[in-house]
A and B are shown apart, each in its own frame.
Chain A
Amino acid sequence: MNKILSSASETSAAEPGMADAVIDVTQPAKSRSGGFSHLVYVLRENPVTAFAFAMFGVLIFAAVFGPSIVPYDPLETNAASVLQPPSMAHWFGTDNLGRDVFSRVVVATRLDLVISVAAVALSFVIGSFLGAIAGYRGGWTDITLNRVLDTIMAFPLFVLAMGVVAALGNSVANIIYATAIINIPFYARLVRAEVNIRRNAGFTLAAKLSGNSDARILAFHIFPNALPPMMVQVSLNLGWAILNAAGLSFIGLGVRPPTPEWGIMVAEGANFIVSGEWWMALFPGLSLMIAVLTFNLMGDGLRDIVDPRRRT
């Protein structure tokens, strides 16, 4: 679990440096310090992006260390303190079983991040593979893939995810698969377009002439060019994947009740909102919103770094 998270944080943190490395390939010796100073420059110019990266750090921290720093056991019920509003003892109040909402919100970070990171990683890998092959080979492979992707996109995506979970069975793993499936088209199309325009580029032909195999050219010469826009997509998609997973668990799919998870906590809190116990729904909902906002801002920031022209 932690491995997935830390590797995700590494790729995201390395991203601005990577974009820079693409720009000044002529000075490989200086690129590391240059990349770092460029990163500092970008973050200083874009305080919002800097804020997003800081928030991302907080999220990662909560996901990794959350369970060991929270004041209460997130599953421990306490009949003596039920439905208490926020106080010094319980910062976010307690729920209908007397569980500490703050502890549950913090502990839930790990599960929510793992679901979305795993789903996005899966769709990244599968989408890149399919898109790269279709873009490189063209012809029937390309047409077939496009037809299949069109069909997936013909479903409202959240609804398709519901159908997939219903068909595969109601479990956390299937939530991940469903979220991955609905995200595959975005990656496959992106990679296909990026690979397709470089299929007959000078450097590809040169690599072919030097006797590289097709697979090698695709993997080491063409595909790396698609990585910068992919990273933007990953960041934007992570936020979307979290929303999607939380939505699925909100309607009772995937995560089962005693487990702390933001979507399910909002669903539990929704039952008490009409009688005025706002804290049960507000805090998990806010955390969800902040997590999604973080990924979206980070994605926008990365896009400004990678491709300033597409700024809107």
Chain B
Amino acid sequence: MAVRGTSVLTRIAQAIPVLFGVIVISFVLTRALPGDPAVQFAGIMATPETIEETRAKLGLDKPLPEQFVVYLGQLFQGDLGQSVSTGRPVLTELTSRLPASLELTLSALLLSCLVAVPLGVLAATRPGSWVDQICRLLVTMGVSLPTFFTGVMLIYIFYYLLGISPSPLGRLDFIYLDPPHVTGFFLIDAALVGDWETWFGAFKQLILPAVTLALFTLAPIARMTRAAMLSALSSDYIRTARAAGLGSGRILCGYAFRNALLPVVTTLGMVFSFVLGANVLVEKVFAWPGIGSYAVEALIVSDYAAVQGFVLAMAFLFVFLNLVIDLAYSLIDPRFGTSGK
């Protein structure tokens, strides 16, 4: 137990240099590139005097290392700068919009895991069967589908042709009131106060964007599950378990799947990278008020601080998710992290 505690601490410590590197890259992107950030921060209507003023105000007249220290200090105080277009601090905007993005991303991941993992397992237990063929087809099509295109087509089919989904504009139709803010997740908040009508409204808005994202993430998860299950099922301990006369359900779930889970969870880390990027596109298609659409709006008006804040926030989120995944390893597989090091 003590060994595991140490390995957990080691893993958390390993995230620190990565976070530092992320901050350095973000700093380089903001300050050290060709082009004058003072001009960008001053806005489009700037005169030479206001540019100089902005330069002094942002500390851009100081040498780069000093600027970096100042930048670090600001970050630790949670200061990501002011958004030029809205005039509000970037951090406030991001935190108020983050739950919307997280709700979408997490429900999409949940959905795609619920479909992809059983599909991969089924395909692996019956190689060459129709399930396997469907799995292969889905995997190949899934990685080739541009998310924004899938989203647009789903809107056409389910909103325009069939008329069963609500108009693709945001998280909640304006006939409903936002549920009281507790977690920021509409589904959870509405359920907490027992407002099932609002819950259903939010759920209906969520389905299409979540399915769009899920279709995109289905492929890598199903592919990895199938490969991991195939290699687990062909191993010696499964042969032994079969020879010992264990039931097929027990073999599949208790032995093969448990061992196949590790590579699948590892793939999830990669999938997060895709899904956080694809999130931006899906939010744009469905006018979802998350941090992705905030960044897109900011990009179009060259709102520099907002975009950098967004990139930094996403990177932190991604590092954090990977940390959680790595920590989950030792729960899934007790062998992990106790040997070696």
Complex Cα–Cα for A150 and B14 (A): 11
Query: Do B276 and A273 have beta carbons less than 8 Å apart?
Result: no
Taking the closest CB of chain B, its distance from the CB of A309, in whole angstroms, is: 12
Interface majority SS (helix, strand, loop, mixed), chain A: helix
Whether A155 touches B25, Cβ cut-off 8 Å, given contacts A166-B299, A247-B146, A292-B144, is: yes
Beta-carbon nearest neighbor of B21 in chain A: A151
Complex contacts, B295 vs chain A, CB 8 Å: 162
Whether A266 touches B280, Cβ cut-off 8 Å, given contacts A156-B318, A169-B35, A293-B140, is: no
Query: Which of A150, A253, A274, A300 contacts B21 (CB under 8 A)?
Result: A150
Query: Do B314 and A266 have beta carbons less than 8 Å apart?
Result: no
Complex contacts, B160 vs chain A, CB 8 Å: 273-276, 278
Query: Do A163 and B311 have beta carbons less than 8 Å apart?
Result: yes
Complex Cα–Cα for A269 and B148 (A): 11
In the complex, which residues 105-161 of chain A have their Cβ closer than 8 Å to any Cβ of chain B?
147-148, 150-161
Query: Do A269 and B152 have beta carbons less than 8 Å apart?
Result: yes
Residue A201 CB within 8 A of the other chain:
no
Query: Do B146 and A147 have beta carbons less than 8 Å apart?
Result: no
Q: How many residues of B contact A (CB 8 A)?
A: 58
Segment from B43-51, B59-67, B184-192, B302-310 that makes contact with A: B302-310
Residue A251 CB within 8 A of the other chain:
yes
In the complex, which residues 271-312 of chain A have their Cβ closer than 8 Å to any Cβ of chain B?
273-276, 278, 281-282, 285, 288-289, 292-293, 296-297, 300, 312
In the complex, which residues 139-192 of chain B have their Cβ closer than 8 Å to any Cβ of chain A?
140-141, 143-149, 152-153, 155-156, 159-160, 167-168
Taking the closest CB of chain B, its distance from the CB of A96, in whole angstroms, is: 15
Query: Do B25 and A156 have beta carbons less than 8 Å apart?
Result: no
Complex contacts, A281 vs chain B, CB 8 Å: 149, 152-153, 156
Query: Do A154 and B319 have beta carbons less than 8 Å apart?
Result: yes
Complex contacts, B107 vs chain A, CB 8 Å: none
Interface residues on A, range: 35 or more
Query: Do A252 and B299 have beta carbons less than 8 Å apart?
Result: yes
Beta-carbon nearest neighbor of B291 in chain A: A159
Residue B24 CB within 8 A of the other chain:
yes
Segment from B26-34, B77-85, B251-259 that makes contact with A: B26-34
Whether A155 touches B22, Cβ cut-off 8 Å, given contacts A163-B308, A168-B33, is: yes
Q: Which of B29, B34, B35 has the largest number of chain A CB atoms within 10 A?
A: B29
Complex contacts, A263 vs chain B, CB 8 Å: 146, 148
Query: Which of A151, A159, A247, A267 contacts B311 (CB under 8 A)?
Result: A159
* Cβ contacts A238-273/B at 8 Å (1 or 0 each): 010001001100111100000000010011011001
Q: Which of B26, B156, B168 has the largest number of chain A CB atoms within 10 A?
A: B156
Complex Cα–Cα for A160 and B19 (A): 14
Complex contacts, B300 vs chain A, CB 8 Å: 252
Taking the closest CB of chain A, its distance from the CB of B283, in whole angstroms, is: 10
Whether A156 touches B140, Cβ cut-off 8 Å, given contacts A274-B167, A292-B146, is: no
Query: Do B272 and A151 have beta carbons less than 8 Å apart?
Result: no
Complex Cα–Cα for A44 and B285 (A): 42
Complex Cα–Cα for A165 and B307 (A): 10
Taking the closest CB of chain A, its distance from the CB of B8, in whole angstroms, is: 20
Beta-carbon nearest neighbor of A163 in chain B: B311
Residue B131 CB within 8 A of the other chain:
no
Complex contacts, B299 vs chain A, CB 8 Å: 162, 165-166, 170, 251-253
Beta-carbon nearest neighbor of A246 in chain B: B146
Complex contacts, B278 vs chain A, CB 8 Å: 158
Query: Do B25 and A285 have beta carbons less than 8 Å apart?
Result: no
Complex contacts, B274 vs chain A, CB 8 Å: 156-158
Complex Cα–Cα for A4 and B285 (A): 33
Residue B262 CB within 8 A of the other chain:
no
Complex contacts, B147 vs chain A, CB 8 Å: 247
Residue A21 CB within 8 A of the other chain:
no
Query: Do B272 and A285 have beta carbons less than 8 Å apart?
Result: no
Complex contacts, A156 vs chain B, CB 8 Å: 272-274, 276-277, 314-315, 318
Complex Cα–Cα for A205 and B155 (A): 62
Residues of A within 8 A of B (CB): 147-148, 150-170, 239, 243, 246-247, 250-253, 263, 266-267, 269-270, 273-276, 278, 281-282, 285, 288-289, 292-293, 296-297, 300, 312
Known: A155-B22, A247-B146, A252-B296. 20 other contacts (CB 8 A): A156-B318, A157-B277, A158-B276, A158-B280, A159-B310, A159-B311, A160-B311, A163-B307, A247-B147, A263-B146, A266-B152, A267-B148, A270-B148, A273-B160, A274-B160, A276-B156, A281-B152, A282-B153, A288-B146, A312-B223
26 residue pairs of the A-B complex, CB under 8 angstroms, read A151-B18, A151-B25, A152-B25, A153-B273, A154-B319, A155-B318, A156-B272, A156-B315, A157-B274, A158-B274, A159-B311, A160-B311, A163-B26, A166-B308, A168-B34, A170-B302, A247-B277, A252-B296, A252-B300, A263-B148, A270-B285, A273-B155, A273-B156, A289-B145, A292-B146, A296-B144
